[in-house]
Amino acid sequence: MIKKLLPKNSRLLFCFVALLSALTLAACNKSQPQSPVSASAPAAPPKPAVAQVKPVQKQSSSALRLPPPLVNQFDFSNKKDPFKPFVVVKVESKNSKEKETPGKKLRNSLPIHSFDVSQFKLIGIITGGRENQAMVTDPGGKGYVLKTGMLIGKNDGKITSITSAGVDILEQFKDDNGRVRKEHIKLTLPRKQ
């Protein structure tokens, strides 16, 4: 059947390829080479082949040319410590008559505590959120957002309520006789003209 399909030259080529593949398979199936020594003689252990060591070219690295790094190459002596507070609170000596807590001194150093309450100008009120808020400006024009319970002014006036009518502030201070006096101050929005 194959003879009918292939021309004569193709048949020769086919036979040649079949013969070549048979020889290749026969050569691959042999696991040990035949030795001329007879089978009765004991087989000598094969000598290990001496591996020729090729000379290795030394690698030139740019890291080897650099000088070793210095141990303390950074100097932080003139840098600012990020963990120190911005405002330093000085504690007065024990001999002073009025002892102020560090929190009160810190509060008095803030700009909102350096003006009298009457010097602040109410410019806006925000209502309808979780809590009402108010916006005031100091005589220098700097704005502050106020919430109920905050302290404002030189005498630590406490904001008692913020309504759409204005901001109510309660100041407590000692008078010349040593009595605690309370003063209610109300900041209102300026009238539109």
For domain 110-187, the question of CATH label 1.10.10.10 is answered with no
Which pLDDT value is given to residue 148?
93
Out of 22-26, 37-41, 144-148, least confident range: 37-41
Q: What gap in Å lies between CA 108 and CA 105, rounded to an integer? A: 5
| Range 112-119 average pLDDT | 88
Which pLDDT value is given to residue 128?
83
Q: Is the pLDDT of residue 92 over 70?
A: no
pLDDT tens, position by position, 161-170: 999 889 999 9
Give DSSP secondary structure letters for 97-166.
SSPPPHHHHHHHTSGGGSS-GGG-EEEEEE-SSSS-EEEEE-TTS-EEEEETT-EETTTTEEEEEE-SS-
What is the pLDDT confidence band of residue 102, given thresholds at 50, 70 and 90?
A: low
Q: Is the pLDDT of residue 38 over 60?
A: no
Q: What gap in Å lies between CA 10 and CA 23, rounded to an integer? A: 20
| Range 142-165 average pLDDT | 91
Cβ distance 176 to 183 under 8 Å?
A: no
What is the pLDDT confidence band of residue 10, given thresholds at 50, 70 and 90?
A: confident
The H or E element that residue 182 is part of is: strand 180-187
Which pLDDT value is given to residue 134?
93
* pTM of this prediction exceeds 0.85: no
Q: Could you state, in order of their start, the residue ranges of all structural domains in the chain?
A: 110-187
